[in-house]
Amino acid sequence: MAYGAAMSEAAVDLPDERDAIRRALIEWYEDDHREYPWRETDDPYAILVSEVMSQQTQLDRVVDAWDDFLERWPTVGDLAATDRSDVVAFWSAHSLGYNNRAKYLHEAATQVVEEYDGEFPESPDGLSELMGVGPYTANAVASFAFNNGDAVVDTNVKRVLYRAFSIPDEDAAFEDVANALMPDGESRVWNNAIMELGGVACEKTPRCDEVGCPWREWCDAYETGDFTAPDVPTQPSFEGSRRQMRGRVIGALKEHENLTLDELGPKVRVDYAPEGEYGREWLRNLLEDLADDGLVEIEERSDQPIARLR
DNA sequence: TTCCGGTAAG
DNA sequence: CTTACCGGAA
């Protein structure tokens, strides 16, 4: 065990303790946990949709969007057959942010249909081939759809392991320990349980006693009172950001379909002025980036370019 | 104003 | 390796 020295010895070095730790978490999860509709299905397509939405949005806000999405595109074939711009427009209308992810999801659906004969791969490695599916999502879908994943390592899991077993803040260490802890062949319940623990008990502000954390007797942080969490990179404010302006462009084009620069500009910035600092040149630049991302298309006209969703 | 976060791309 | 990407809630 490469990180044994840094870990409380109870966690992995002593098999009896490790089994008790495993049982305690699974019992705690099965006794009571939040209900989400995607926890009621093993359809990999439905689960992928929920995971992509959950990457960016608090779970409670995902439920309605997930229901609507699956009602509109019930199968991976339905999604692959639709226009990408419809998916981006849906994403924007449901305030899901990160329009790129709508594009990735549509692309992934196309891959499943064209390259996998409509059947999802069942292994993490296979799932990783799909656009927008990284290590976390691959293991999540493999686990929840097929009970066939490795341990998921998201920021919740990192925070739990860092606190409970003093795991160093290094990706390889988290991955090793997470996998050592997970019982063989139980990725579905285990990954649900450990993320639930991070989500409702081991939050930034911990609630160990309130929710009856099952790991209190083994937890380093509970013993020492030091609930420091791994650093998460802080990000620049959203207000006035380029991301906000991109979102406004998508929103305006969803509503109007075709717009010239000067029609679009005022819908993006109230201070838009064709020749100003935030004018045609600035907007053109923003649109070029969106076009490079495949979200928008620009049609050159003799007078002014026209933009539309792609 | 800060928090929240997995993936792709440079 | 770093950076861009979204919007709603606390």
DSSP readout, A138-191? HHHHHHHHHS-------HHHHHHHHHHH---S-HHHHHHHHHHHSPTT-HHHHH
pLDDT at A3 > cutoff 90:
no
- Separation between Cα atoms, residue A118 and residue A25, nearest integer Å: 36
pLDDT at A169 > cutoff 50:
yes
In this structure, are A102 and A16 located in the same domain?
Answer: no
Q: Which pLDDT does position A10 carry in this prediction?
A: 44
Distance, angstroms, CA A276 to C1' C1?
Answer: 36
Q: What SS3 class is residue A18?
A: helix
Task: Count CB-CB contacts under 10 A for residue A59.
Answer: 14
* Minimum CA–C1' distance nucleotide for A57: B4
Q: Is residue A234 part of a domain?
A: no
Instruction: Count up the domains in chain A and report the number.
Output: 3
Whether CB of A258 is under 7 Å from strand B: the answer is no
In this structure, are A26 and A83 located in the same domain?
Answer: no
* pLDDT band with cut points at 50, 70 and 90 for residue A276: confident
Task: Count CB-CB contacts under 10 A for residue A118.
Answer: 14
pLDDT digits (tens, 9 = 90+) for A281-300: 889 989 988 888 889 999 99
pLDDT at A4 > cutoff 60:
no
pLDDT at A8 > cutoff 50:
no
Select from A103, A126, A146 the last residue of a domain.
A146
Nearest residue, CA→C1' of B2: A237
pLDDT digits (tens, 9 = 90+) for A87-146: 999 999 999 989 999 999 999 999 999 999 999 999 999 999 999 999 999 999 999 999
pLDDT at A16 > cutoff 90:
no
Q: What SS3 class is residue A308?
A: strand
Q: Which pLDDT does position A9 carry in this prediction?
A: 45
Residues A298-306: what's their mean pLDDT? Answer: 88
Whether CB of A243 is under 7 Å from strand B: the answer is no
Residue type for position A215: W
Protein-covered nucleotides of chain B (CB closer than 7 Å) are 1-8
Cβ within 8 Å of residue A45, ≥6 positions away: A75, A76, A79, A109, A112, A120
Q: Which pLDDT does position A80 carry in this prediction?
A: 97
The single residue of A17, A51, A186, A277 carrying the catalytic annotation is A51
Q: Which pLDDT does position A5 carry in this prediction?
A: 43
Select from A224, A255, A285 the last residue of a domain.
A224
Q: Is residue A235 part of a domain?
A: no
In this structure, are A201 and A218 located in the same domain?
Answer: yes
Q: Which pLDDT does position A77 carry in this prediction?
A: 97
Active-site residue flag, A9: no
Across chain A, mean pLDDT equals 90
Q: Which structural domain range is residue A302 located in?
A: 242-309
Closest CA to A188 of A142, A119, A153: A142
Residues A24-31: what's their mean pLDDT? Answer: 96
Q: Which pLDDT does position A278 carry in this prediction?
A: 87
* pLDDT band with cut points at 50, 70 and 90 for residue A12: low
